[in-house]
Amino acid sequence: PVRVLTGITTSGTPHLGNYVGAIRPAVAASRDAAVESYFFLADLHALIKVQEPARVQRSTLEIAAAWLACGLDPQRVRFYRQSDIPEIPELTWLLTCVAGKGLLNRAHAYKAAVDRNRAEAEDDDAGISAGLFMYPVLMAADILLFNAERVPVGRDQIQHIEMARDFGQRFNHLYGEHFTLPEAAIEEHVATLPGLDGRKMSKSYDNVIPLFAPREQLCKLVFSIVTDSRAPGEPKDTEGSALFEIYRAFASADETAAMRRAFAEGIAWGDAKQRLFERVEVEIAPLRARYEALVAEPQVIERQLREGAARLREERATPFLAQLRRAVGLAPLD
Ligand code: TYM
């Protein structure tokens, strides 16, 4: 079977972008017998952005519950929390020592932070943690530890997968063929879900629609999606319309074609938003009910996560790290 791995950073409440870009396609793929799935909660990554312990913990619970509510079957899928596998930070160090610093300088998130500093005539690295700089190496360790072949992610993460390939290749070249080189798998039509303001939906832009917002809040948020000022009856552009893009991520091809016609015929924004709300609500409502029940039982989720990590360490992480330690010369003196 092909090994598929993906993670979500536990830095906030799961949102529709996580759902259409990661959770929904990953859970659908995990039902295929030809696929071996690894889904995890990237809580070590969360510390880069969030230094509020209660928020990291709450987010871990919410994202775990979201995966389960969306149909992840913990019997079939390897489901775990990054920080329960100490081999991940250990491998991060081995990869750090082969990772090119110049490559890390070019990582989008780090570069964007440097550019912001420059724009404000600050020191390049002012306020930037070494954790942010090392983000791609930790992510490479997540992927390479389990020799994942396919990594389903949104378009924003492609560069990170390419870096994982680079570090893996460098390591293989120096120490022998230990790592499989991963490929990114992008769902083309949902490449990047826009948020309320039309930019990429992201915790950092504060423009998200929480995946399990209660019905009334979901409706309110959908009605707050930015639109232009065209009046009812005036044709609307689908190009660049956040409303249309979000609709498309939830609708069938026929429904999308019908919405496209409605735009051309000048549907009122309020009517288009009502249609979007109803389409999302139909899909999310049954998942929301399950989610609420799961969040109310953190101990059940905690047990599943621990069992998931224990099993993975035994079957893969611990023996593989022993192999890598030997390969680099961290071997017993016998
Ligand atoms: P994160 O937590 O930012 O996002 C989790 C997943 O959701 C996708 N996503 C989106 N997809 C479409 N439209 C959007 N607006 C949107 N926002 C988020 C992301 O592409 C991602 O698939 N670095 C990763 C977490 C991670 C990881 C890994 C992923 C850590 N280690 C190893 C894969 C493999 C991240 O911060 O994702």
Q: What is the position in ligand 1's atom list of the atom closest to the CA of 11? A: 2
Is the CB of residue 87 below 6 angstroms from any atom belonging to ligand 1? no
Q: What is the mean pLDDT of the chain?
A: 95
Q: How many angstroms separate the CA atoms of 139 and 136, rounded? A: 5
Closest CA to 138 of 321, 7, 235: 7
Measured by CA distance, the residue closest to atom 33 of ligand 1 is 6
pLDDT of 190 above 70: no
Is residue 197 in contact with ligand 1, taking CB distance under 6 Å?
Answer: no
pLDDT per position as a tens digit, 254-300: 999 999 999 999 999 999 999 999 999 999 999 999 999 999 999 99
Between the two ends of the chain, the Cα-to-Cα distance in Å is: 38
Locus of tokens 């399950």: 290
Asked if pLDDT for residue 210 goes beyond 90, the answer is: yes
For residue 185, what pLDDT band results from cuts at 50, 70 and 90? confident
Ligand 1 atom 7: residue of nearest CA: 18
Tell me how far the alpha carbon of residue 7 lies from the centroid of ligand 1, in angstroms: 7
Percent of the chain with pLDDT strictly greater than 70: 99
Which residues have a Cβ under 8 Å from the Cβ of 44 and sit 6 or more positions away?
82, 83, 88, 89, 138
Distance in Å, CA 43 to ligand 1 centroid: 13
pLDDT digit string (tens) for 216-229? Answer: 999 999 999 999 99
* 36: amino acid identity, one letter: E
Task: Give distance in angstroms: CA of 299 to centre of ligand 1.
Answer: 26
pLDDT tens digit sequence for 307-320: 999 999 999 999 99
Q: 164 C-alpha to center of ligand 1: Å?
A: 15
Higher pLDDT, 189 or 191: 191
CB-ligand 1 contact for 208 (6 Å cutoff)? no
Distance between CA atoms of residues 178 and 90, nearest Å: 16
Shortest-distance Cα residue to atom 31 of ligand 1: 139
- List C-alpha distances in Å: 4 to 46, 88, 200, 272, 279: 22, 17, 25, 36, 29
What type of residue sits at position 114? V
Of the residues 153, 160, 196, which should be mutated to test ligand 1's pocket, given the most ligand atoms within 8 Å of the CB? 153
Distance, CA 22 to ligand 1 centroid (Å)?
7
ipTM of this predicted complex? 0.97
Decide whether any atom of ligand 1 lies within 6 Å of the 141 Cβ: no
Question: Which has the closest alpha carbon to 295: 30, 45, 67, 10?
Answer: 67
SS3 per-residue string spanning 244-283: HHHHHHHCCHHHHHHHHHHHHCCCCHHHHHHHHHHHHHHH
Q: Assess contact for 48 and 131: CB atoms under 8 A.
A: yes
Residue 287's φ and ψ, nearest 5 degrees, are: -70, -35
Domains of the chain: 2-193+297-328 (3.40.50.620), 212-292 (1.10.240.10)
CB proximity list for 233: less than 8 A, separation 6 or greater: 266, 268
Q: Please give the backbone phi and psi of residue 236, each rounded to the nearest 5 degrees, phi first.
A: -115, 150
Beta carbons within 8 Å of 256's beta carbon, 6+ residues apart: 247, 248
Q: Which atom of ligand 1 is nearest to the CA of 10?
A: 2
User: What pLDDT does residue 152 have?
Assistant: 87
Asked if residue 154 has its Cβ within 6 Å of ligand 1, the reply is: yes
Query: What's the confidence (pLDDT) of residue 139?
Result: 98
Q: Is residue 238 within 6 Å of ligand 1 at its C-beta? A: no
Q: Find out whether 135 and 164 touch, Cβ atoms under 8 Å.
A: no
CA 131 to chain centre: 18
Q: Does the beta carbon of 9 lie inside 6 Å of ligand 1?
A: yes
**Which stretch of 59-68, 112-121, 151-160, 184-193 has the lowest confidence by average pLDDT?**
184-193
CA distances to 96, 156, 159, 191, 224 from 162, in Å: 15, 12, 5, 17, 36
Report the interhelical angle of 215-223 vs 269-295 (nearest 10°).
150
Nearest Cα residue to atom 16 of ligand 1: 17
**Atom nearest to 154 CA in ligand 1:** 20
153 lines ligand 1 (CB under 6 A): yes
What spacing in Å lies between the alpha carbon of 157 and ligand 1's midpoint? 6
**Which pTM was predicted?**
0.94
Region 191-211: mean pLDDT is 93
